[in-house]
Structure 1
Amino acid sequence: MIPGGTIDPAQAQQRILRALVASQILSGAGLAAGVTVGALLAQDMLGGTSLAGLPSALFTAGSALAAVVVGRISQSRGRRPGLTAGYLTGALGSAGVITAAVLDLPALLFLSLFVYGAGTATNLQARYAGADLATPDHRARAVSRVLVATTLGGVAAPNLAAPMASLAERVGVPGLAGPFLLSGTAYALAALVLAVRLRPDPLLTARALAAADAGTVTVPTGDGEDPAGRRPPGVVLGALVMILTQLVMVAVMTMTPVHMHDHGHGTAAAGLVIALHIAAMYLPSPLTGRLADRWGRLRVAGASGVTLLAAGVLAAVAPGDSVALLALALILLGLGWNFGLISGTAIITDAVPLATRAKTQGLVDVSIAIAGTTGGLASGLVVAATGYPVLALAGGILSLAILPAIAVSATADRARDKRVA
């Protein structure tokens, strides 16, 4: 505590990050479990590949709605009730998926996958909570600490797909629905951790400190300069970076297990590839955050486009029977997404005032979720019509659109600085 009985932001930030890390480990398991088998479950229930991308589209569409709700709850009541409600909703969706599989009800499956998407949205919204009390030159690193915690659960869950399938079959649940037993439990536990341990509430604390210390530099307000001393890029650029990386990542990731299944690989092999992909999505976060804080958000955002292109090209040319090359392609895919998400999140947080931060962040995440929905839904149709290599290559090429957007933003910033000078 600091003199006068007010909250010490540094101490509060450490407590907040510990609670967020614990919840992210659990929610990472919940997120990865559904990603691993969602497309295969739909393919099994519908008997075809053309709609195999629909589960990903549905839970990313559900995450779009949840992003709005979680953002608005956080804006009015704080991060703790917003994130807790989101994870509980994800747990409810997991229970619905299991029920649909047992009763063989595709309509219920699709509805439940939509509800399950709340867990995905909440997992992403938690990164913003890590940055609420961070100073401008440490925001990307704070975001990265929250994201990297997802790695533990995210890597473990796909490798538990086969054991969870066996457990499910022993209790009368179809094997492909087994991982949703894990996801429901993990999301419920993540909600419990936040409800009990996310104290003080980061967003409400940041507001209180800003009101008490107006005119000082102790508390971030969301409108500081970037590490290089330049005016921060705008919300549009940050949103565009995250939208493109999400669209490409979801499209290629969704159809990779199906592509592997069609070439004779089992659930264990697909689970390993997805586990490595998720590890690459989150494990490099500390390094990415440091790079974004030290060398600038725009450079890291540009690296995301180049890395996603490499991932798409490799996935397109890799033989279907080569687990190693597909795994490498998915690792690059996850790394490119990581670059884009952390740099884009830092850009958004730099640009948005504290008073409207949670609401704006929620709306940005809606756009990200819609991009994921588009990628997931289109991926099955593209693969059915042209094949997996075309999907992967098209995604890689699309990701290069990040580069001209960065160039335009940088040019506009230089022109504005000259006018100000």
Structure 2
Amino acid sequence: MSPETSQNDRPLTETGRSRLQRRTVLVLVFAQVVGSVGMGAMLAVGALIALDLSGSDAWSGMATTMITLGAAVFALPLASLASRSGRRPGLALGWFFGALGGTVVIAAALAESFPLFLLGMLLVGAGTATNLQARHAAADLATERTRGRDLSLVVWATTAGSVVGPNLVGPTGGLAARLGLPDLLGPVLLTTAGFLGGAVLIAVLLRPDPLLTATAEAARAERERGREPEGRVGLADALRAIGRTPAALLAVVGVVASHTVMVAIMTMTPVHLSHHGAALTVIGLTISLHIAGMYGLSPLVGWLADRVGRVPTLIVGQVLLLVAAAVSGTAGHHALQVTVGLVLLGLGWSFGLVSASTLLAESLPAGVRPRAQGVGDLAMNLGAASAAGVSGMVLATVGFGGLSLFAALFTVPVFALALRTRANTS
């Protein structure tokens, strides 16, 4: 029997649970900082590398498409691995595949192979999936009073790496040049190193595993009540649980809508700015400020979700997304207005993701929660991948304003479900 299993067999006192939760959040925060350091930079240059390799604006959106599709592809396998073996192996393996993807992207750029580039970006999506799933690990041992705060702290931790990353486009480009590589591969080197560092931190430090500990505690509580704990659930069980629980369904739709709107607009922003003559440093700064909006205020968002409620916070997020689409969509060639719109877009995403993820974590029992969270992450990334996939064509057809309007339509189901949920609970 491993030390970790032995730890899970011992009942946790309230003090012990609180101490373990603080340690878990701290480890996740460190891993997020390291693992996300290159992700913002990759977002800033991915579309530009795709444009160079494909020679087409319509295909340039495939960079973000493949990242989000990769996040969708890896979401359920990583969640299933977590359900069987705990958060630690799932998160560490996801970061590792992300690092492998960065290596493939570098090889593709050197070989001038667009298909190989797409494969690399698909693997990079595993890093994105891991970045997203880390927030669920923060909720495993959290109490209802602090669940939103703890989850949001892990989301916030991405700020340091992701905001710094796009501003390293220039310096890492110089490093790449000294290594005999194209300038745009500098951020890819940074992404690869960050993912590998995140994998090592999780593998070494995330002990005891928060999900295994929480599951053991829930099973022990069931036995004390004279009931046998539920066995391991499958995908179909998770889908049924979401469908029959209005709050869980709203949470899944809310996180899908928030992520889809954000990705659809953000994907084509570098291309839109480039078409209007913006320098690479301006594009990097815009994406950096956008990511600051996504993550920088997430602790405040988590506090609001705990104090005001999950659903009201989710609705505020959808309103912010609508305002962001209006601001960026009417900006034309004004880079400053585009930047303001992108900051609001990131803030709306933060409100949506934190509140909906917290709502999902507390709407379902512990046994079904990991797979349901995997379903939610799969759906949000499939939605975002689909939106990103058509964003280049939409931009080419109706312009950036039309693309922003197209993205804004995804908020409608959230408002409808929120009204229905409120009617059912009133």
Would you say same fold, with TM above 0.5? yes
CA distance in 2, matches of 1:166, 1:107: 26
* Aligned residue type for 1:147: V
Q: Aligned match of 2:381 in 369, 379, 384?
A: 369
Cα deviation digits, residues 67-94 of structure 1 (max 9, x gap): 1111011000000000000000000000
Cα deviation digits, residues 275-313 of structure 1 (max 9, x gap): 000011011111111111111111011111110010000
Q: How far 1:5 sits from its partner (Å)?
A: 7.0
CA contact (8 A) 1:93 1:114 kept: yes
Q: How far 1:26 sits from its partner (Å)?
A: 1.3
Q: How many residues align?
A: 399
* Aligned residue type for 2:165: A
CA distance in 2, matches of 1:36, 1:352: 37
Q: How far 1:30 sits from its partner (Å)?
A: 2.9
Structure 2 residue aligned with 1:334: 346
Structure 2 residue aligned with 1:169: 177
Q: How far 1:241 sits from its partner (Å)?
A: 0.5
* Aligned residue type for 1:342: V
CA contact (8 A) 1:155 1:276 kept: yes
CA contact (8 A) 1:304 1:339 kept: yes
Residue 44, structure 1, aligned to residue 24, structure 2: no
CA contact (8 A) 2:41 2:167 kept: no
Residue 300, structure 1, aligned to residue 300, structure 2: no
CA contact (8 A) 1:281 1:337 kept: yes
Equivalences for 1:86-105 in 2 at 5 Å? Answer: 86-105=94-113
Structure 2 residue aligned with 1:393: 405
Structure 1 residue aligned with 2:67: 59
Structure 1 residue aligned with 2:241: none
Structure 2, unmatched stretches of 5+, are 1-6, 231-244
Report which stretch shifted further, 352-361 or 9-18.
352-361
Report which stretch shifted further, 40-49 or 4-13.
4-13
CA contact (8 A) 1:315 1:393 kept: no
Residue 263, structure 1, aligned to residue 271, structure 2: no
Q: How far 1:400 sits from its partner (Å)?
A: 3.9
Give the TM-score normalised by structure 2.
Answer: 0.90
CA contact (8 A) 1:306 1:400 kept: no
Structure 1 residue aligned with 2:365: 353
CA distance in 2, matches of 1:72, 1:361: 10
Q: Percent identity?
A: 39
* Aligned residue type for 2:340: L
Secondary structure, counterpart of 2:419 in structure 1: helix
CA distance in 1, matches of 2:284, 2:344: 17
Q: Aligned match of 2:325 in 312, 332, 347?
A: 312
Secondary structure, counterpart of 2:324 in structure 1: helix
Structure 1 residue aligned with 2:146: 138
Equivalences for 1:231-310 in 2 at 5 Å? Answer: 233-310=246-323
Q: How far 1:393 sits from its partner (Å)?
A: 2.5
* Aligned residue type for 1:136: E
CA contact (8 A) 1:309 1:400 kept: no
CA distance in 2, matches of 1:234, 1:316: 32
Q: How far 1:60 sits from its partner (Å)?
A: 0.7
CA distance in 2, matches of 1:63, 1:397: 23
Secondary structure, counterpart of 1:346 in structure 2: helix
Cα deviation digits, residues 178-217 of structure 1 (max 9, x gap): 211000000000000001111110000111222334469x
Q: How far 1:233 sits from its partner (Å)?
A: 4.6
Cα deviation digits, residues 344-378 of structure 1 (max 9, x gap): 10111011211121111111110011011012111
Name the CA shift for 1:59/1:14 in 2 (closer, same or farther; >3 Å).
same
CA distance in 2, matches of 1:255, 1:10: 43
Q: Aligned match of 1:404 in 402, 411, 416?
A: 416
Q: How far 1:115 sits from its partner (Å)?
A: 0.9
CA contact (8 A) 1:97 1:108 kept: yes
CA distance in 1, matches of 2:83, 2:11: 25
CA contact (8 A) 2:28 2:138 kept: yes
* Aligned residue type for 1:104: E
Give the TM-score normalised by structure 1.
Answer: 0.91
List, as ranges, runs of 4+ consecutive aligned residues in structure 1 with deviation greater than 6 Å.
none
Name the CA shift for 1:409/1:23 in 2 (closer, same or farther; >3 Å).
same
Q: How far 1:406 sits from its partner (Å)?
A: 0.6
* Aligned residue type for 2:267: T
CA distance in 2, matches of 1:17, 1:48: 43
Secondary structure, counterpart of 1:29 in structure 2: coil
Residue 192, structure 1, aligned to residue 200, structure 2: yes
Structure 2 residue aligned with 1:324: 336
Q: Aligned match of 1:210 in 195, 215, 218?
A: 218
Q: How far 1:412 sits from its partner (Å)?
A: 1.7
* Aligned residue type for 1:255: M
* Aligned residue type for 1:91: A
* Aligned residue type for 1:111: L
Cα deviation digits, residues 140-176 of structure 1 (max 9, x gap): 1111010000000010000001111121122122222
Q: How far 1:249 sits from its partner (Å)?
A: 0.3
CA distance in 1, matches of 2:184, 2:172: 9
Q: How far 1:413 sits from its partner (Å)?
A: 2.2
Secondary structure, counterpart of 1:50 in structure 2: helix
Q: How far 1:242 sits from its partner (Å)?
A: 0.7
CA distance in 2, matches of 1:335, 1:142: 18
* Aligned residue type for 1:17: V
* Aligned residue type for 1:42: A
